[in-house]
């Protein structure tokens, strides 16, 4: 059932007092093994770019500072996740059951997020009203938790395409979003 997977990597940090997300790659994987391979490859790619040495080409003298011994090792966290067979097996099961897979490696200033979810699961959530559009734009009675019956179809207002500024653009296109709001993917 879950044959395609939307995979995404993002780096987050604070700039000018606001949380900023920088997309580091997206891919629509045609199979579960390829989705997991791509996430492992992205984990390696990020880790290699974070593990700089002072003698690396293009690094100005004095640009790198040693970390404290107790500082979180983001490249190490990414490599540990990539190399742990049990975690990879668990990740495969999570995706196979149609759940969102999310791995975060963070230190004091930044966080790196690896995401994957079945394209079919994304579509089903949207169709059932539990997808990106349902969170902020549910009817008032539902948001307050008051169960109220729906009015007959003739009395309902016409369907609207609600803004989905909280969903990444690749996710919006994967689920067929047609709304005109193309605001930022993440709110601070």
How many Å apart are CA 113 and CA 65, to the nearest integer?
Answer: 24
Measured between alpha carbons, how far is 46 from 131 in angstroms, rounded to an integer? 29
Residue 160's CB is within 10 A of a number of other CB atoms, namely 9
Nearest to 74 by CA among 100, 32, 44, 98: 44
Domain ranges of the chain: 5-52+68-139
Point out the least confidently predicted range of 16-20, 54-58, 121-125.
54-58
pLDDT tens-digit readout, 140-181? 333 333 333 434 444 444 433 334 444 445 544 544 555 444
Give percent above pLDDT 70 in the chain.
66
The closest of 68, 69, 8 to 39, measured between CA atoms, is: 8
- Cα torsion at 129, 133, 138, 142 (round to 10°)? 40
CB atoms within 10 A of CB 188: 10
Over residues 102-138, the pLDDT tens digits come to 999 998 889 999 999 999 888 888 888 764 434 333 3
* CA geometry: angle 152, 178, 119, nearest 5 deg: 95
- Whether the per-residue pLDDT at 15 is higher than 80: the answer is yes
Helix (H, G, I), strand (E, B) or coil at 24: strand
Lowest model confidence (mean pLDDT) among 10-14, 25-29, 143-147, 171-175: 143-147
Rounded Cα gap, residues 114 and 78, in angstroms: 10
SS3 content of the chain, % helix, strand, coil (to 5): 35, 20, 45
Compute the distance between CA of residue 2 and CA of residue 87 in angstroms, rounded to an integer: 20
Check whether 55 has a pLDDT greater than 80: no
């Amino acid at each position: 059932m879950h044959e395609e997977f939307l995979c995404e990597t993002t780096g987050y940090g604070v700039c000018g007092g606001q949380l900023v997300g920088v997309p580091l790659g997206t891919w629509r994987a045609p199979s579960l093994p390829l989705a997991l391979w791509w996430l492992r490859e992205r984990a390696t790619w990020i880790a290699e770019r974070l593990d700089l040495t002072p003698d690396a080409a293009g690094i100005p003298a004095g640009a790198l500072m040693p970390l404290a011994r107790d500082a979180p090792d983001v490249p190490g966290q990414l490599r540990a996740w990539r190399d742990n067979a049990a975690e990879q097996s668990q990740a495969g099961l999570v995706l196979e059951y149609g759940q969102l897979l999310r791995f975060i490696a963070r230190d004091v200033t930044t966080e790196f997020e690896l995401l994957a979810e079945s394209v079919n699961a994304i579509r089903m959530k949207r169709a059932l009203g539990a997808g990106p559009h349902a969170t902020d734009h549910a009817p008032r009675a539902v948001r307050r938790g008051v169960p109220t019956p729906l009015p007959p179809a003739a009395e309902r207002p016409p369907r609207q395409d609600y803004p989905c500024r909280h969903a990444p653009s690749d996710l919006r296109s994967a689920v067929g979003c047609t709304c005109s709001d193309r605001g930022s993917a993440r709110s601070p």
